[in-house]
Amino acid sequence: MRTLIIAGGDLFRIAADTLGDATQWIRIAQLNGLTDPLLTGVTTLQVPDTDPSAGGGIASQ
């Protein structure tokens, strides 16, 4: 796991850049207690380790 400090943007781009798969944005959101993939202001995020077998895009019910 790593920590990023982001000034605006969205979790789709962060997931694509750090995890290699934009659909895994939900993993970052869940880890940080977020529900909205769009970020405003300066945000400190925890980013999980890459997991190619992780599903993405839809939160578990």
For residue 61, is it within any domain? no
Quote the number of domains for the chain.
1
Tokens 């798969």 belong to: 21
Q: Tell me which amino acid residue 19 is.
A: L
Is the pLDDT reported for residue 37 higher than 90? yes
Q: Chain-centre distance of CA 14, in angstroms?
A: 6
At 45 the three-state DSSP class reads: strand
For residue 32, is it within any domain? yes
For residue 55, is it within any domain? no
For residue 56, is it within any domain? no
Q: What is the mean pLDDT of residues 5-34?
A: 95
58, HSE (Cβ side, Cα atoms, 13 Å)? 3
pTM, two decimals, is 0.83
Q: How confident is the model at residue 61 (pLDDT cuts 50, 70, 90)?
A: very low
At 20 the three-state DSSP class reads: coil
- Determine the structural domain holding residue 20 and report its residue range: 2-47
Is the pLDDT reported for residue 47 higher than 50? yes
CA distance 9 to 12: 9
CATH of the domain at 33: 3.10.350
For residue 35, is it within any domain? yes
For residue 16, is it within any domain? yes
